[in-house]
Amino acid sequence: MTHRRSPFTRPSLDERGHTLVELMIALVLGLVLVGGVFVVFMGSRMSFNTSDNLSRMQDSARIAFALMSREIREASGTGCGNGGRADNGIARRNRSVLNAAQSATPAWWSQIGAGIQGFDASQVTPAIAIGTALGQRRSNTDALHLAGAYGAGFSVEMHNGTTNQFKLNTSQSGLTANDVLIVCDYRQSTVFNASSVSGDRVNYAIGVGGRNNCGTAMAYDTGVVCPTTSYLYDPLVSRVSRFGASAWYIGNGSNGRPSLYRVFLDGGPEEIAAGVTDMQITYLADGSTAYVDASAVTDWASVSSVRLTLSFESTDAAVSTASTGDRRLTTSTTSTIALRNRMP
């Protein structure tokens, strides 16, 4: 005979479920556990983002200072001598036979000039306009122009003034037609265009266009007109090098934030390092012990050292402990760089 339990009979302890209080306690404990895991996760994520942004800022700093320092050290060099006071004299006796240099206001990249020229935040540089468009220079930031021989160069074995040709000591120079070059000896230097290159022969000819030559005479003639006096470079001491001219500035980056830019020769703006928000530069001249702003420099050929300060920000916002603003990481770094071609 089967016995049925009365609905009024109290179940045993083994048969009872959880009470509402027990369920609430379990839910609270679960929420506390999940909350703890979430806090740890968010902390780890914040730490990772901060470390990642710091790493990218350091990469930008390394790239910016490495490239700018190299070009500053080489500024005003012609490729002949050690670039000391004698070479500074050679730089002052430099002529450019490029068409772009033959006017009352030569193209900024077409001649060596003093080799270096700075622009304060309030000064306009001819290389790039101040504006809000992509690649344009940002207001309230300094800019810098540099020019000179780029790289070690190649020895000249022969200069033929009749055929307008240089014979180099190697056929593996890597030079190509339309390269802007500089040739020098212990007397002077000349910036010119290579109309063609074949093996160890570099030819120069008259052509149309800013990069081409207005003539083939290479003497140091005064004035802004194209040189007309013939000059043969001494094959015992002459060198041919690539000529470099660059403008450095802070521009509007591709991500909508500031970046470090460079314009090389007559090319367009090139974004070098993202997250560089400001550039401030001061200069030391011969006979002085104080670094001054660009507006206070009276003779750029006497500048022998540059103090460069770059400011950086993180790519991402909300990664610092700041309580205001967009909470980006920020830092500034200063480096003092001597012009190798101006050292005694």
Strand segments, DSSP code E, in 27-115 are: 94-96
Give the mean model confidence (pLDDT) for residues 128-157. 95
33 domain-assigned: no
Cα dihedral sign, 84-93-266-312: positive
Q: What's the pLDDT band for 84 if we cut at 50, 70, 90?
A: very low
Structure tokens at 16: 């009872």
297 domain-assigned: yes
Q: What pLDDT digit, counting tens, does each position of 199-214 carry? A: 999 999 999 999 999 9
Tokens 């790519």: give the residue: 315
Compute the distance between CA of residue 22 and CA of residue 113 in angstroms, rounded to an integer. 86
Residue 13: the pLDDT is: 55
Tokens 């929420």: give the residue: 31
9 domain-assigned: no
Q: Quote the mean pLDDT of the chain.
A: 88
Q: What pLDDT digit, counting tens, does each position of 316-341 carry? A: 888 877 777 888 999 999 999 999 88
97 domain-assigned: yes
Spatial contact of 192 and 280, defined as CB atoms under 8 Å apart:
no
Instruction: Give the predicted TM-score (pTM) of the model.
Output: 0.84
- Structural domain count, the chain: 1
Strand segments, DSSP code E, in the chain are: 94-96, 116-119, 143-160, 165-168, 180-184, 189-193, 196-198, 201-203, 239-252, 258-264, 269-274, 276-285, 303-313, 330-338
Compute the distance between CA of residue 55 and CA of residue 64 in angstroms, rounded to an integer. 14
Q: What's the pLDDT band for 85 if we cut at 50, 70, 90?
A: very low
124 domain-assigned: yes
Q: What's the pLDDT band for 83 if we cut at 50, 70, 90?
A: very low
The alpha carbon of residue 54 and the mean position of all alpha carbons in its chain are separated, in whole angstroms, by 20
Residue 82 has pLDDT above 60, yes or no: no
Q: What's the pLDDT band for 12 if we cut at 50, 70, 90?
A: low
Q: How is residue 323 annotated by DSSP?
A: S
Compute the distance between CA of residue 112 and CA of residue 220 in angstroms, rounded to an integer. 13
Give the DSSP letter string of 297-315.
Answer: -S-GGGEEEEEEEEEEE-S
Q: What pLDDT digit, counting tens, does each position of 50-80 carry? A: 788 888 999 999 999 999 999 999 999 898 8
326 domain-assigned: yes
Give the mean model confidence (pLDDT) for residues 129-140. 96
Residue 93: the pLDDT is: 84
Compute the distance between CA of residue 260 and CA of residue 274 in angstroms, rounded to an integer. 6
Selection from 166, 176, 135 nearest residue 267 by Cα: 135
What lies within 8 Å, CB to CB, of 48 at 6+ separation is: none
The alpha carbon of residue 317 and the mean position of all alpha carbons in its chain are separated, in whole angstroms, by 24
147 domain-assigned: yes
Residue 35 has pLDDT above 60, yes or no: yes
10 domain-assigned: no
What lies within 8 Å, CB to CB, of 171 at 6+ separation is: 199, 200
Q: With H, G, I as helix, E, B as strand and everything else as coil, classify residue 341.
A: helix
What lies within 8 Å, CB to CB, of 90 at 6+ separation is: 78, 80, 81, 184, 186, 187, 188, 189
Q: 10-19, 29-38, 175-184, 244-253: which has the minimum mean pLDDT?
A: 10-19
Q: What is the chain's alpha carbon radius of gyration, rounded to the nearest angstrom?
A: 33
Query: Which of residues 200 and 150 earns the better pLDDT score?
Result: 200
Compute the distance between CA of residue 142 and CA of residue 150 in angstroms, rounded to an integer. 24
What's the domain range around 237?
51-342
Q: Please, what is the Cα angle at 153 between 147 and 159, to 5 degrees?
A: 105
Give the mean model confidence (pLDDT) for residues 107-133. 94
The alpha carbon of residue 222 and the mean position of all alpha carbons in its chain are separated, in whole angstroms, by 33
Q: Which amino acid is at 124?
A: V
52 class by beta-carbon count within 10 Å (0-12 exposed, 13-18 middle, 19+ buried): middle
